[in-house]
Amino acid sequence: MSDSFNFSVVTPEQTYLDGEASMVVVPGIEGDIGFLANHANIITSLRPGTIVVTSDKDTNSFNVEKGFVKFSENKLLVVAEGIVSE
């Protein structure tokens, strides 16, 4: 069983980030949600906040506007209205 999964962060304009991760934490509407490989299938709303992506090599974080998140078949899709510049 693999310890990583595919993920994509997209906005209406572009694919912002795409790759493999060992953990992704997103700002869910009812609190932060941490995703690991083989997480249960879920679709939920995304509130504005920080997404943290951890892979074998490094950790990245960035801020997103509201949207939704879907985890299915060991793939995470984050659809955000936009990425907030720092």
Domains and CATH numbers, the chain: 5-84 (2.60.15.10)
Q: What is the mean pLDDT of residues 13-33?
A: 96
pLDDT of residue 83: 94
pLDDT of residue 1 exceeding 60, the answer is no
pLDDT of residue 57: 86
Mean of all residue pLDDT scores within the chain:
94
Q: What is the mean pLDDT of residues 27-47?
A: 96
Q: Give the integer Cα–Cα distance in Å for 70 and 41.
A: 7
pLDDT of residue 2 exceeding 70, the answer is no
User: Residue 48's pLDDT band (boundaries 50, 70, 90)?
Assistant: very high
